[in-house]
Structure 1
Amino acid sequence: MIVSQNDFEPTDHWYPKALNATIHPMVKFFFNLDRDLIVTRYCHLHPTVSSDKLREILNYRCKYFQWGGADLLNVTSSGGKRQMVVIENNSCPSGQKSMPLLDDNDEQGSYRLMVERTFKPYIKKIKDVKGDLAVVYDKNEIEVFGYAKVIADVMKEPVHCVTFHKDDPDPKVFFEDGIMYVKSDDDKKLIPIRAAFRYLTQKPWNRLPLNTKTKILNPTIVCLAGGRNKMVAAKAYDIFNAELKPFGLKINIPETIWDVRKEEIPLWVNKLGGQAVIKVPYSNAGQGVYTIINEKELDDFMKLEFDYDLFIIQSLIGNSNWSSITSSGKLYHVGMIPNLKNETYIADVRLMVSSTKKGILPLVAYARRAKAPLKDRIDGGSDSWEMLGTNLSYKEKDGSWGSDAKRLLLMDRRDFNKLGLGLDDLIEAYIQTVLSTVAIDKMAKTLINTKGVFKYDLFKSLNNDQSLLDEIKIH
């Protein structure tokens, strides 16, 4: 499908709930905060942090990871130390349809902000490839077409919007000599693409080559380096944390054990006190994540069959009465403000950022709550995912995707107050998102040599899962 200029209709690209929402004044203030003020405030609250190093990181310009979105939990320790913990950072994240306008006079909102300050500069210097622009996607049409229409407006040319599913028997997208081509609507013409905005979330490495002449945002290497690969992300965070330690900075993550084979999982769950989170490292959108709080949930997990050989296990963050026991003690959810029934729900925060000439800047924020309130006590019949799972995406029986928007919490005047967050929490979320983004970008740079070639052997040493390695499309 070809998208033309002047075709953007706001009602098509936001949830109805978000379309007429008014941004919360504190959130608007945060999004307009001067960078130096952020550094000064953060270092005032964290005296051991180097202001020069923090400023350097916030000004970092990503080479590969141009656009990401971290999922964060607002947690506290038994001693009352609050922090924002990174659960994962996603390449091509969703969120635009959930973000109220920062400026009521700008109807394209942060869609346009993303395209003007990140996508346009990223594709500006293309010389080798002649062709059109495209958006390729496998889900989330509300946002995908929003981006396509804004790109058409900003770049002043038509944009091809094309599906590219992982199991498509007759794909509309293919590569030849490193150049992306898309089929015309009547399948009679092959159109070369000089640059593509990519919204592929399901195993993008199995159809989007690592080495392409067509400029792609984000390139596939970002997904393998941690944007869609929780195994390598955990190692990227660990490596970057070693670099950050002398400067008082750290990516806050749950205690993580990687390269775990299925038969070893019960041993590690037991070590964490019987509560843990098991993750299939290469899944996303809430798929492949298993929270374990009792024997039944562990037994149910062990009966499942998987395509991959290796898993990661993380400490579970639950209630103050039941969370994983780690070397640094227990962490538990701060949770939302209790409702009229005196129930406390947990929620995560998604903070989306993009790389610009001024560094990594915040773009979108929203939150998602769990289906059921957090219980003080658990037993053998408790369902942990109902209390701890926050992702809105779910897969239909026909393979299509749906979204449980009633659990969406906006950064507006009504919902934001329920989250129990303050300005310093938003600043902390932003800094944690930037740190995790930089870690993944640095890992991506490590995995590509000076000639632009993927270091297969190095990647294999980091992630020796043959099922995954067999999927990777290098050329």
Structure 2
Amino acid sequence: MFTSFPTTPQTSPSIVNSFVDDNVVASWPKANGNDLVKSPILQQNQKNLELFKRHYDNKSDSDTDSEKSSSGSTSPLPLDSTSHASDKNTNINNNDTTDTTKIASSVSPLKKHATIVNKGEFESERHFYPRVLNATIHPLVASFLQLGNERIIARYTHLNPQVKVQKLVECLSYQPKHFRWAGSDLFNVTTSSGQRQMIIVETNSCPSGQKSMPLLSETEEFGGYRVVLESAFQEVLEKADPSLGDLAVICDKNYMEASGYAAVLAEISKEKIWYAEYHINDDDPPVKWIDRVLHVRDVNGEWRSIRACFRYVTQKPWSRIPLNTRTFVMNQIISCLAGGRNKMLAARAYEFFNAELLDSGLAVRMPETINNVTKSEIPLWLHSMGSHAVIKVPYSNAGQGVYTITNPQELQYFLDQDHHYDKFLVQSLVGNASWSSMTRAGRFYHVGTIPNRRNHTYVTDLRMMVTANKNGFRPVCLYSRRARKPLLGNLQDDLSITSWEMLGTNLTIKKPDGEWSSEPERLLLMDRKDFNQLGLGVDDLIDAYVQTCLSVIAIDKMCARLMPEEGSFNFDLFRALNPDEALLNEILV
């Protein structure tokens, strides 16, 4: 315990850095939904840091004035009980002339640790955006969510008579083995002849959406959090080995939702839940694997074993979570490699599944995709698509690693970047009628929002989250996002606007220091106010749901191909489908 602090004119960076590792400080939305604060696990450490700095700098604000003794000397300031020095007998007094680097060496860093979430700790204000708390779900969206698969099948096959009813029943009743919870991003597109349809942009294995979804019923305060946990997670808890320990939620972003899942899991299971942040660049994370069993570090530095874990780890999860674990992990890491976080394998999965669906009238609809493209080949493929295309780093997410190319400058910017991976994905670009990619299936362009008072139309996407259990699929929640700038009729109309500003819809922004931020002002809710801007009907939502289910089935089937038996990963097949050595070297088997 520190007894006093030296007074010097400048704070020693080495001491400050020993208390908080900036690489793992993450963003958490405040009550207004725009500003950011630290994630909850680090809030106490940050408080200790501020107290430490205030005394070290010998500031004379009102707080420090109240802590001074009558003689004018600074009284001891105890840190929180979680703080400690490497030597409890170490005293640092005001007369100490020891070099600050030596002082820093006597202070051990505060260990990041998991926190306990108990039953009764769920608070809506912490797990939903303020806009959502005050929103009323749109009646059309509420009607869609309550249709049920039987009526969805009846309506879909009525509008699409070429679809075989039994095959659609089979698909919506499918029980995934590996990929039980997913969210697809879709574009509402049309052709020059006016044929509208939903197409899959990508499918995510740790989808966000709960914090953005108005409650279907005001009496069900847990919303979609409960739906996901009860339908996808709780069902498999019975298979987990009780002797392995407790339950946990681990995450590396989206703390608002991850902590919401932890709080609701505590309600459902009636157990304490360990909540831990697991960042990719953390040298000493509060999570580790011992004999393929997950362990989390508690406040006392002891490691607690975990029998089942709900995962919201999105950044290269295969690099620190094994493919085969004794702890049950949802979703399993194979779902990320097979398409949930790997756009390359997702495209192959869709192709394979479409071959199975050939005579059923069903198909996963997606932009035309070229796989395993090297950097030097990209200009050739770009030219074949009319010089308009989208280049993707296949393993990035949250809008990172996506480059929309509509002119030589945007292409050169991509080529000038230093990319970690060797292979890329090239897809046809969906823009406006005059500047979309020309593909074998024709030219698709965005339907966009209903024009506003300035007659501006914005590109939007639709997130459809689904979950599945022994009864098949069900929709959980939806939201939409719009681009920053309105869609131009011709690219030359305003050369100051980039194609990404018109086409990029993702709200997440990665800052240069590695922290994550968001632009919630571009979020469109499924409420009475925002939903009307989208110009969507119930049949569009049904189409999006069917497409999402088909994409999840395709990826789950790819999982089964790559792991045909429990614990055996087919590296040879994976290498053949995805020959990227940089990725292969990251996989933790």
Q: TM-score range by the shorter chain?
A: over 0.9
Give the alignment of 1:374-385 within 5 angstroms.
Answer: 374-379=487-492, 382-385=497-500
CA contact (8 A) 2:247 2:273 kept: yes
Give the alignment of 1:385-396 within 5 angstroms.
Answer: 385-396=500-511
In structure 2, distance between residues paired with 1:163 and 1:35: 37
Counterpart residue identity of residue 393, structure 1: T
Does 2:306 match 1:162? Answer: no
Alignment correspondent of 1:443? 558
CA contact (8 A) 2:116 2:272 kept: yes
Long gaps (5+) in structure 2: 1-114
CA contact (8 A) 1:129 1:214 kept: no
Give the alignment of 1:162-181 within 5 angstroms.
Answer: 162-181=276-295
In structure 1, distance between residues paired with 2:459 and 2:133: 25
For residue 136 of structure 2, give the secondary structure of its aligned residue in structure 1: coil
Give the alignment of 1:283-432 within 5 angstroms.
Answer: 283-379=396-492, 382-432=497-547
In structure 1, distance between residues paired with 2:146 and 2:246: 35
For residue 247 of structure 2, give the secondary structure of its aligned residue in structure 1: strand
User: Relative to 1, partners in 2 of residues 1:409 and 1:299: Cα closer, same or farther, differing over 3 Å?
Assistant: same
Cα displacement string for residues 171-228 of structure 1 (whole angstroms, at most 9, x for unaligned residues): 11111111111111231x1101000000001000000000100000001000000000
In structure 1, distance between residues paired with 2:467 and 2:423: 31
CA contact (8 A) 2:244 2:327 kept: no
Alignment correspondent of 1:25? 139
Cα displacement string for residues 101-123 of structure 1 (whole angstroms, at most 9, x for unaligned residues): 00001111111111112111022
TM-score normalised to the size of structure 2?
0.79
Q: How many residues align?
A: 473
In the alignment, which of 40, 43, 48 is matched to residue 157 of structure 2? 43
User: Relative to 1, partners in 2 of residues 1:268 and 1:382: Cα closer, same or farther, differing over 3 Å?
Assistant: farther
Deviates more, 1:123-132 or 1:329-338: 123-132
Cα displacement string for residues 35-93 of structure 1 (whole angstroms, at most 9, x for unaligned residues): 11111111111111000000100000010001000000000011111100100000011
Q: Post-superposition shift, 1:454?
A: 0.9
Report percent identity of matched pairs: 53
For residue 28 of structure 1, give the secondary structure of its aligned residue in structure 2: helix
CA contact (8 A) 2:323 2:567 kept: no
Give the alignment of 1:30-429 within 5 angstroms.
Answer: 30-127=144-241, 129-187=243-301, 189-379=302-492, 382-429=497-544
User: Relative to 1, partners in 2 of residues 1:223 and 1:202: Cα closer, same or farther, differing over 3 Å?
Assistant: same
Indicate the structure whose relative CO is greater, using CA pairs within 8 Å and at least 6 residues apart.
Answer: 1
In structure 1, distance between residues paired with 2:431 and 2:219: 42
In structure 1, distance between residues paired with 2:428 and 2:496: 21
User: Relative to 1, partners in 2 of residues 1:69 and 1:17: Cα closer, same or farther, differing over 3 Å?
Assistant: same
For residue 263 of structure 2, give the secondary structure of its aligned residue in structure 1: helix
CA contact (8 A) 1:237 1:439 kept: yes
Q: Post-superposition shift, 1:128?
A: 6.8
In structure 2, distance between residues paired with 1:81 and 1:405: 31
Dislocated runs of 4+, deviation >3 Å: 379-382
Deviates more, 1:35-44 or 1:230-239: 35-44
CA contact (8 A) 2:148 2:474 kept: no
Determine which structure has the larger strand proportion and give its number.
1
Cα displacement string for residues 444-471 of structure 1 (whole angstroms, at most 9, x for unaligned residues): 0111122431111111111110000000
CA contact (8 A) 1:129 1:213 kept: no
CA contact (8 A) 1:323 1:331 kept: yes
For residue 366 of structure 1, give the secondary structure of its aligned residue in structure 2: strand
For residue 60 of structure 1, give the secondary structure of its aligned residue in structure 2: coil
Alignment correspondent of 1:434? 549
Counterpart residue identity of residue 394, structure 1: I
Alignment correspondent of 1:467? 582
CA contact (8 A) 1:296 1:381 kept: no
Cα displacement string for residues 292-343 of structure 1 (whole angstroms, at most 9, x for unaligned residues): 0111111111111100000000000000111001011100000000000000
Q: Post-superposition shift, 1:398?
A: 2.1
Long gaps (5+) in structure 1: none
Q: Post-superposition shift, 1:129?
A: 4.5
Cα displacement string for residues 267-286 of structure 1 (whole angstroms, at most 9, x for unaligned residues): 10110001000000000000
Deviates more, 1:336-345 or 1:120-129: 120-129
In structure 1, distance between residues paired with 2:577 and 2:299: 42
In structure 2, distance between residues paired with 1:374 and 1:130: 54
Q: Post-superposition shift, 1:381?
A: 5.5
Alignment correspondent of 2:59? none
For residue 245 of structure 1, give the secondary structure of its aligned residue in structure 2: coil
In structure 2, distance between residues paired with 1:451 and 1:258: 28
Cα displacement string for residues 349-394 of structure 1 (whole angstroms, at most 9, x for unaligned residues): 0000011221011001000000000000113654000000000000
Counterpart residue identity of residue 212, structure 1: T
Deviates more, 1:214-223 or 1:125-134: 125-134
In structure 2, distance between residues paired with 1:112 and 1:34: 18
